[in-house]
Amino acid sequence: MHWRERLQALFGERAQFQGDVLSEHGRDGGASAGFGPFLHTRPSAVVWPESAGEVIELVRIAAEAGVPLVPRGGATSPWGGALPVRGGIAVNFSRMARVLEVDPTTQTVTVEPGVTWNRVEEALLAHSLALRLLPTSAPRSTVGGWVAEDGAGLGSYQYGYLHSNLQSVEMVTATGETLRSAGNDLRLVCGLEGITGLITRVTLKVAREAPLSVWALAYLSQAELIRALHLVFDSDWPLWHVAFRNAEASNEAPVGANRHGFADDMGILVLMSRDPDRHALDAQVDALARFTGGRVLAPHQAVAEWDDRFAAMESSLVIPGALQRRLVLPRYGLTPLVEDLAELQHPVALQGVGVMGEEVAVHAFAPSFLSRRQAERALATLEERVGRYGGHPYSIGLLRAHEAARILGPRQMRELIAWKKRYDPRHLLNPGKVLPSPGISWRVRAALAWSHVVGTPGPAAVPSRPEGERVRPETRVS
């Protein structure tokens, strides 16, 4: 029986082989824009599994036929991790979206990979629990997708990267085996885009629910904004989340205080705490503002920052991948980076989050008034300077596979290559991602060069969404 017939028998109407749905699964949060004739990202089929058992059978069918499998969550990343590059089967996990168990005693929650982070948070609140951290794309992104990418987000100032907040992950390898990873073994799962296995279950460490306090400070000077950020990093304040954005980012995608006109043309520093003693922090924040030339915004203005916590990332999903960068930078590199950017001919919009006071995860994009060529030049300079100061791309995906050795390091690369030789020697699981593939890597480079010359959809302005279209979760602020 042909593999398509076997999929039809297994999934019924949950297997599709033609139509617009294939094209939809050949796009993501930005990377697919501008590939032109060099790289075709349309899968040969799309399936929607509903159980781990179906995933196991799917892997067996694909392995016997030699057909690649490409896992797909919310597809919010702009780096191509969810894009098929050798045809194959796109595996859409949206129907494996259950919260399986909430355990208040161990403070863990077990979920299926296709559940969104907002849905997990809702389930936890019913038990007086809360996520330790969540991505800034939480309304759309899935647990399995963020595990496959790894990263930092809301709450990373206190809790670090996602991989440090996982209890365990279950996945199905290309041999059809189900493996459970925990502890150090998670390094062969997190951030590897599903090339080691299709994730079927995740157990997350969570926290007790606590009231959230929010402060926002506005700065005319970018240098003073960064100085304030460093002083916060050096403090022992009990903060859960620290975020910042420069004036260019505020003007391009007005959110929070900027959206309400409270701080036009100003950079913003946002501090959030789950500590019950808000009054002690009030005095410290006031002192920080006086010392660094900032302005503490009124409480209702700060609340606007929490209300809009997902809006900036939602807006970024319309930006082509070539016109934005997501990078990780050691904190010591932030000041020289900002000084360098101030001397550039063209400005760059920056927004970022602090990671345990040691690093910043930065999202950079081009202001809408720049031409595509100006934007790409400015972002290329930014990326070069980030590398100079010890930084690296936020994730690898398809577009950064040629940098995997530098990002992962020699030890993890050796372990990953050995794993693939044992479990997936034909590279059927998400080919072209993380581990560079000569037949694919040159096509990616050619496509990016082509888009630079031809000028595929340029740096369109990030639209200010109508009020009713913004994600507006209920505010929980003390």
Q: For the purposes of burial, counting CB atoms within 10 Å of the CB of 409, is it exposed (0-12), middle (13-18) or buried (19 or more)? A: exposed
The pLDDT of residue 297 is above 80: yes
Both 20 and 129 in a single domain?
Answer: no
Please say which residue of 168, 190, 208 terminates a domain.
Answer: 208
The pLDDT of residue 78 is above 80: no
Both 222 and 352 in a single domain?
Answer: yes
Q: Region 94-108: what's the mean pLDDT?
A: 98
CB atoms closer than 10 angstroms to residue 226: 24
- What CA–CA distance (Å, rounded) separates 79 from 400? 7
Both 112 and 46 in a single domain?
Answer: no
**Is residue 463 in some structural domain?**
no
pLDDT of the residue at 176: 96
Both 290 and 159 in a single domain?
Answer: no
Mean pLDDT, the chain, whole residue set: 87
C-alpha of 87 from chain center: 24
Please state the domain count of the chain: 3
Instruction: Supply the range of the domain harboring residue 284.
Output: 213-394
Q: Please, which pLDDT band fits residue 251 given cuts at 50, 70 and 90?
A: confident
pLDDT of the residue at 74: 81
Both 348 and 224 in a single domain?
Answer: yes
Both 358 and 257 in a single domain?
Answer: yes
- What CA–CA distance (Å, rounded) separates 203 from 182? 10
Both 223 and 359 in a single domain?
Answer: yes
DSSP secondary structure of 77-91 = -SS-TT--SS--EEE
pLDDT more than 90, % of the chain: 63
The DSSP code for 370 is S
Both 340 and 431 in a single domain?
Answer: no
pLDDT of the residue at 317: 61
Q: Please, which pLDDT band fits residue 214 given cuts at 50, 70 and 90?
A: very high
* 3-class state of residue 467 by DSSP: helix
For 103-155, write each residue's pLDDT tens digit: 999 999 999 999 999 999 999 999 999 999 999 888 889 999 999 999 899 99
CB 341 within 8 A of CB 53: no
CB 473 within 8 A of CB 306: no
The pLDDT of residue 312 is above 80: no
Both 227 and 142 in a single domain?
Answer: no
Both 116 and 40 in a single domain?
Answer: no
pTM of the shown model: 0.89
DSSP secondary structure of 320-363 = -GGGEEEEEEEGGGHHHHHHHHHTSSS--EEEEEEETTTEEEEE
Handedness of CA 242, 247, 252, 253 (dihedral sign): positive
For 287-296, write each residue's pLDDT tens digit: 999 999 999 9
Q: Please, which pLDDT band fits residue 453 given cuts at 50, 70 and 90?
A: low
DSSP secondary structure of 108-163 = EEEE-TT-BHHHHHHHHHTTTEEES-B-TTTTT-BHHHHHHH----BTHHHH-SGG
Please say which residue of 186, 208, 230 terminates a domain.
Answer: 208
Both 82 and 113 in a single domain?
Answer: no
The domain that contains 27 carries what CATH number? 3.30.43.10
**Is residue 119 in some structural domain?**
yes
Q: Please, which pLDDT band fits residue 315 given cuts at 50, 70 and 90?
A: low
For 347-384, write each residue's pLDDT tens digit: 999 999 999 999 999 999 888 888 888 888 888 899 89
Which residues have CB under 8 Å from 395's CB, separation 6+?
77, 79, 81, 149, 150, 151, 191, 193, 326
Please say which residue of 157, 188, 208 terminates a domain.
Answer: 208
CB 80 within 8 A of CB 399: yes
The pLDDT of residue 221 is above 80: yes
CB 462 within 8 A of CB 252: yes
**Is residue 470 in some structural domain?**
no
The pLDDT of residue 469 is above 60: no
The domain that contains 293 carries what CATH number? 3.40.462.40
The domain that contains 153 carries what CATH number? 3.30.465.10
For 55-73, write each residue's pLDDT tens digit: 999 999 999 999 999 999 8
**Is residue 465 in some structural domain?**
no
The pLDDT of residue 237 is above 90: yes
Phi, psi of 261 (to 5 degrees): 75, 15
pLDDT of the residue at 457: 38
Least confident range from 5-19, 80-94, 121-135, 166-180: namely 80-94
pLDDT of the residue at 475: 34
The pLDDT of residue 408 is above 60: yes
Both 308 and 247 in a single domain?
Answer: yes
